[in-house]
Structure formats: structure tokens, C-alpha cells
Structure 1
């Protein structure tokens, strides 16, 4: 106790030498935890920079809407997506006194052989794919058998009708051969509950022992449309064969082709659908309320690069790019004992965010791959030069540039590998975390705590 008292007394009478600073012995809270506070500030900056990335998502939606409007404008003048339904025979009958209903008879065999001739159309910077088609539609109707009494059937008003999604796409005067005779179609259909749009022509029917005799038909139809073409399997057996010079088809609808061949020069595809594959009969009436369009199938003329979709996916990785870039800067601060001001972090963050607006703007003018290369190259050069200026060390700047090259390259690979994007992204994050953990071992955290 006496020794302790003497020591304390000695300290009380001690006079510090000129220039000696006791603050080094007892640093303030801010100095003791400066690096931890800096880490929190960096984390907050990363979260704040997600606000402009969310605004960029809105920009992408706006530009995509304009693209859709341009596509709709082109389609309105050329022809919308087309669906061919039919032909079918429609016979009116007297359901109740003063009220008509209609009997519908579907073909026994329906064959469609066609050629699609796509081409690109532009409206300003936007483009869409349209097509012309030459369709040869043939088949036959089995004898028409129905429970409706003959005296109620208005056979003299029987028509063959063909449903089309957009009548504006018809580019020839379609004619039909029915039992060896020529018939011209007229626009409009008897009953819009079956077809919203279409064409029809009167046909003669004769009575036989097996029913009302219909016969075979053949139709040549030139049809224009946009984006896609579908067919309704109304035949007891429906066969569709399509060939085209478009190298990127997407087979769509309720049935896939039984045979297809896709090359860089185009594609061929063949469908075969039985009446057992769908849930409506060959003979029905309008009282059955059957939708013949429920089992449509066909082709979408897929555009290989959708810049807006790819840009949207790229923005979703913004937090990864910004967060990892800031983490690299923070580690450089700790390992090299250098200093980066929060304002400089903000400027670097803005440069990383600006990459996405550059990407969107360039993707509207170039293909997505080239746009990504140019936008990422500009961003990497800017951040590398700025980093070299901050630290006064070109090697450090080049190291940051190398990290960004790896990050942007990895993101691009993930974007292109749509089916494997989740797997590749997860593996990439695991590898990055392992690298960060490895380098964090070299930081002498206890020394930093003692100094701060």
C-alpha cells in the first residue's frame, strides 16, 4: 500500500514535457473505433447507392414500354400475331320457334403446309420481327351426322368458316376448292361466339344414307403477322408442317413438334395432334360453349437478344459489384495503411451505377454483348484512373481494375448462361467469400485496435 501511495504521489507531481501529448495514451472513442465506424459508413453508402439502381430499373421499364409501343405500332400496320382456326362447317338450325342456333362440324383431316418469311422492321431505334407466310390448307370432312332433325336444319345456309386473329394480315384473295369447285371467301363470320374474326363462304351439301355429304377442301392463304403464329387443332387428325429461314424459333402452346430441325439457316417443324389430345368433340352446337382456341400451338419468332431483359438482370447484380468494390478499397486501406475519404467512395459508387445507364443506352444501339463490353470498359478505365490518382500508385489502380474486370466478366458469363445462372452465381459468391476470408487473415486486427 505504501509503494502504491508513493507511485500515485509521483504521478500527481509529474509535469509533462513540452510537446508531449497524453491523448496518445488515452485516444478518443472515434479514434479507437475509426476503422469499424468507417466499415459501417461504407455499408450505409452501399445501401444508399441501391436507390439510384432502383431508379434505373424504372428507366428500363420505361424504355421497354416505349419499345412495346413501337412494336404495337408496326404490328397495327402490318398484322398482329396470327392464329389460324379451321376451317369448320357451320349450319344454322331452328332451336325453338323464332330462335336460331348453330351446329358445328370439324374436319376429319386437317393438313397445313406453310412457309414463314420473317423480316425485321424498325421504328426509330426499336425493332421487331414480322413475317409473311404462304399456307396451303387441305383436308376433308366426313359425312355430317347430327341428332338435329333434318327439317330443322337450314342446310341451304351452310358455310365453311376460317378463323383468323387479324384480318389485316390477309395479303391475297383467298379462294377455296371444295369438291373440285372454286369458292371465294367473304369477310366476317356467322357467329362470333366461335370466331371473333374470320372469313366464310357458302357451300352446297347433299343428303346421303350416311349423313350430309361434305367432302374435301383446299385453301391457299397468304398471311402476314408479327412475332408469332399459332394453329388450332380442330381436325380429328391435325398435321402442320412449317419451314422458315428464321434461326431462332421458340415452339409454343399446348403441343411441341413431333419432329423439328433448327440450324443457322432456319428451321423445319412438324406437329401431329389427334382429337383424343383435346377436350372437345368433332360435332357440337353453339349451346355447348366450347372454346376451339384452348389447345393452340405454334411458333414464336424469338429475338435472340432482348437488351432490356438482359439489362434488368444485370442491375440485379449491382449490390454485388458495388459491395465487393468497396470491400476491396476498404481492405486496401487496412493493409496498405492508406486513406480513402467517404466522398471518394461515393464518387466511385456513382461511376459503378452509371455503368447501367450506359449499358441501357448502348444496348439500344448495339447488340447487348458489345454494349456490355463498351460500358464496362469505360467504367473500369474511369475507376482505375481515379484509384491510381487517389493512392498515387499505378499498381494499386491496376489491381482495382483487374478486380473489376473479373467481376464484370463473371457477371456477363452469368447473364449469358440463363439456365445455369443460379448455380454459377452461387458458386461465384462462394469463391468470392473464400477469397475475402483469405485476405482478411492478413489484417492485423489487434494492432489496428491498439492504434485506433
Structure 2
């Protein structure tokens, strides 16, 4: 009885398929570990990028000059005592024209490349008189003599020159760091101004600003026009608005936005954090950034993104490789032990570790083909030592090489990867069905692997 069971266990195709399926599931563990390793290395890269950016200048969001006017309210508390609170009314500019020239650069931090930039920003605009409209909306007196001009910049560390505010081409004011309130801007600069005599005027100011990775603007003008020129040839336009005009060449890019008050959800004047309240009501966004727009400077090749996509195909690659060895075993009547299947699977998993480590020192394409050559050679030599049939070894090498080329093509064709992948799998299934069409699986499962019914000839 025991002898019959041992014979069945050694020759049963069904049992072998069950064991192979279990081994494939076991290989999910190291595959998942590799994906975690990729994420860990990507996190390390992001930390290095953030460290450099924190010293140069982070992602920058530039606002527009706004007028902030304090008013005071008196409240009687529970102890019947009067408490005075200072609040602010805000006026947004009428017309805004922003021209910026962005000059990118890259710096190395260990193994990692960081995208930095310096930008020269020119801001022209004007304020209309909205004092009477504001005063009609509150019973409190607006203190025009205590007003201030605010300009929001998300990371003041990036400023490289003193910022001056020119009013009507005659008066010049210098911005001081900090803002008197966080109703509109969480970070920025400001200066006091007396608006008792004049609350409508034209203005201009210039910024020399360092930043990294992205640059965004706030459309606070009744009509906001932004022109951006850069020598970076791989911009990614982001935010609430795409540019009306964009031109990208090998030497750089140009973009122009025109945004109206009607395109956003808040008026030109209001009290407190009226912009955040309006955006919260419209889009459930509380950071006041719902209407910002701009661009992100992306690296032409992000090896971690490609490696992550490649690793997602790992289980399919393992499955196809194991299936290839299984049919080689069936057709050639040569037993392959489950441990040998497991070692072959580990070889496939090792490919992604090699790809990750080599790509950190060279480009993705070179790393891919070096890793591919190494794993194909490793598994081919192992196959030759197992089966000792050169034709089978060459067949396995050809199958593995074809799979690596196929999956590389999937990585390159992002828009057509699903179509190409489904067609490729269809062809693989069709070829497998054709090659195994004459195998009598009932005989194979109830006898030794020598019993075939018009089975394909052995690959000697």
C-alpha cells in the first residue's frame, strides 16, 4: 500500500500541479519583500531630495499681493467683561499679470538626483476701491490707517533678494517677513500701509526665488494672467487649471494661463478666511489651495517607478516560467523536483533585486538587460545541469529571453500595455494549447510519465 502511494506521489500530474501551485504562492512572500525593498529605497530617495530642498527651497506656491484691513469687535464674556478681538477684511487685486522665467538645475545627493530651480518673477497688478463695499457688510469700523499689504510665498527660505513693492510708480515699500494673520496665507511677507487717503492704485514687485520640483500660483486677481518660460523640457502641468497655451520643445517649454474670477468660487473681497470657506463649501478642501495651478519638473526617467511597474509583473513571470518547465518535464519525461522549481522561482525574484541595485548606478535600460542576461544565464546553466540536454537548455533560454523582451515592451508602452499584455497572454495560451493537444492527461495522471497517447516527441 505504501509502495503504491509512493509511486503515485512520484508520478501524479495532479499532485505535481498542486505542489507547483503551492510553490508559486510561497514565492509571493519574497516577491512582496522585493516590492517593500523598492518602496524603502524610493523613500530613502525622497528623504534625500527633501533634505536638499529644505536647504535650497521647497516646492513653491506664490500668491498675489492682497490688502488686509483690521477691524475690532467687542464681546461681553461669561463674566460680564468686555473683550476686544481683532479681525481682518481682505481685498484681492483687480488685474494681475505674472511673468516668470524658471531656470532649472540638478544636484546629486549620494546616489540620487534632485531637481532644483531659480525663478525670476515679475508681478504687475492693480487694486480697485472696495472699501465702501466692505464697510457696508460690517457694523465695525475698518481701520484703514492700520492696513497692510500681504504677499504669500510658501517657503521664504528660497528668497534671494529683498522684495520691494512699488505703488503707482512713485512710492516704494519693502516687505518684512511674516504675515499678521493666516486667513489667506500661512506663510509670506507683509508691510504696513495707510490707506486713508488712497485705496486704489497700481503696483509692481519682483521676486528672485529658489525652489524645487514644482512651482504654483494662486489666481487671486479678478483676471489673472501668468506666463512661464523654462529651459526644462519635461514639465507636468498641474493644479486646477491647465495652460491655455503650452509649447514644449527639446530646449524648453512655454505656458500661458488666463483665469477669471468666474473660474473660481470666491469673491474679490471678504472677511477672515473667506477663501478657505468658499473652497471648503465647493470642494471639501480646507487648505486654500483648490484653485492653485502651475507645473512640476519631472525627471525624464524615474527608475523606481519603472521598477515598481516591473515588479508588479513578477508573479506572472514566475507563473509562465514554471509552466514552461512543467511542460518541458512532461514532454521530455524528465522529473524536476519541487525544490528545483523553487530555486528557479527564487532566480526570477532575484532579477528584481539585481534590477533595483544596478539601476541606482546606471540607467534603467542598462540595468534591465544586465539583470536579464545574468538570470537567463543562471537558469540556463541550472537547467543544463538538471536535464543534461542542450536543446532543452537552449529552449528554456529562448523562452526566458522572449518573456523578458515581452515584459520590457509592456513597460515601454504605458498607453498600450493592457492591449499588448492581453494579446501576448492570448498567444502564449494558444501555443501552449497547441503543443499539449495530444497529451492524454488521464493516462499521465494514472501511470508513469512514459505513457503517452501520440504525445509530442521528446526534445533531445
Alignment counterpart, residue 383 of structure 1, candidates 379, 386, 389: 379
- Alpha-carbon distance, 1:147 to partner: 3.7
Q: Is the Cα–Cα contact under 8 Å of residues 206 and 214 in structure 1 kept in the other structure?
A: no
Q: Structure 1: how far apart are the matches of 2:203 and 2:356?
A: 52
The SS at the match of 2:397 is helix
- 1:172 matched to 2:158? The reply is no
Per the alignment, residue 117 of structure 2 pairs with 131
Per the alignment, residue 257 of structure 1 pairs with 243
Q: Is the Cα–Cα contact under 8 Å of residues 32 and 450 in structure 1 kept in the other structure?
A: no
Change (3 A) 1:32 1:198: closer
Alignment counterpart, residue 157 of structure 1, candidates 130, 146, 150: 146
Which structure has the larger Rg?
A: 1
**Mean Cα displacement is larger for which, 248-257 or 152-161?**
152-161
The SS at the match of 2:289 is coil
Q: Structure 2: how far apart are the matches of 1:42 and 1:32?
A: 14
Q: Which runs of 5+ in 2 are unaligned?
A: 76-83, 278-287, 449-460
Q: Structure 2: how far apart are the matches of 1:398 and 1:368?
A: 27
- RMSD of equivalent CA atoms: 2.3
Q: Structure 2: how far apart are the matches of 1:38 and 1:294?
A: 58
Change (3 A) 1:205 1:35: same
Per the alignment, residue 81 of structure 2 pairs with none
Q: Is the Cα–Cα contact under 8 Å of residues 388 and 395 in structure 1 kept in the other structure?
A: no
**Mean Cα displacement is larger for which, 263-272 or 34-43?**
34-43
Q: Structure 2: how far apart are the matches of 1:196 and 1:288?
A: 14
Q: Structure 2: how far apart are the matches of 1:122 and 1:27?
A: 63
Per the alignment, residue 10 of structure 1 pairs with none
For residues 407-426 of structure 1, the aligned pairs below 5 Å read 407-426=403-422
Alignment counterpart, residue 243 of structure 1, candidates 218, 229, 232: 229
Alignment counterpart, residue 188 of structure 1, candidates 156, 178, 186: 178
- Alpha-carbon distance, 1:114 to partner: 0.4
- Alpha-carbon distance, 1:375 to partner: 1.1
- Alpha-carbon distance, 1:341 to partner: 2.3
Change (3 A) 1:105 1:303: same
Q: Which runs of 4 or more aligned residues in structure 1 lie more than 6 Å from their structure 2 counterparts after TM superposition?
A: none
- 1:279 matched to 2:265? The reply is yes
- TM-score normalised according to structure 1 size: 0.88
Per the alignment, residue 206 of structure 2 pairs with 220
Q: Structure 2: how far apart are the matches of 1:287 and 1:266?
A: 38
- TM-score normalised according to structure 2 size: 0.87
- Alpha-carbon distance, 1:72 to partner: 1.3
Q: Is the Cα–Cα contact under 8 Å of residues 94 and 221 in structure 2 kept in the other structure?
A: yes
Q: Structure 1: how far apart are the matches of 2:323 and 2:244?
A: 53
- 1:65 matched to 2:43? The reply is yes
Q: Is the Cα–Cα contact under 8 Å of residues 183 and 273 in structure 2 kept in the other structure?
A: no
Q: Which runs of 5+ in 1 are unaligned?
A: 1-22
The SS at the match of 2:257 is strand
The SS at the match of 2:69 is strand
Alignment counterpart, residue 299 of structure 2, candidates 303, 310, 329: 303
Q: Structure 2: how far apart are the matches of 1:198 and 1:449?
A: 76
Per the alignment, residue 394 of structure 2 pairs with 398
- Alpha-carbon distance, 1:361 to partner: 0.7
Q: Structure 2: how far apart are the matches of 1:230 and 1:151?
A: 36
Per the alignment, residue 129 of structure 2 pairs with 143
- Alpha-carbon distance, 1:427 to partner: 2.3
Q: Deviations over 1:136-188 (max 9, x none)?
A: 11111112333417992222222211001111010111112111122211111
Q: Structure 2: how far apart are the matches of 1:379 and 1:172?
A: 55
Aligned length, in residue pairs = 425
Q: Is the Cα–Cα contact under 8 Å of residues 93 and 268 in structure 2 kept in the other structure?
A: yes
The SS at the match of 2:276 is coil
- 1:38 matched to 2:16? The reply is yes
Q: Is the Cα–Cα contact under 8 Å of residues 12 and 444 in structure 2 kept in the other structure?
A: no
**Mean Cα displacement is larger for which, 75-84 or 417-426?**
417-426
Q: Structure 1: how far apart are the matches of 2:10 and 2:90?
A: 87
- Alpha-carbon distance, 1:449 to partner: 4.6
Q: Structure 2: how far apart are the matches of 1:370 and 1:174?
A: 47
Change (3 A) 1:255 1:39: same
Q: Deviations over 1:247-304 (max 9, x none)?
A: 1111101000001011221111111100000111001111646365321011011122
The SS at the match of 1:177 is strand
Per the alignment, residue 6 of structure 1 pairs with none
- Alpha-carbon distance, 1:54 to partner: 0.9
Per the alignment, residue 458 of structure 2 pairs with none
Q: Is the Cα–Cα contact under 8 Å of residues 93 and 222 in structure 2 kept in the other structure?
A: yes
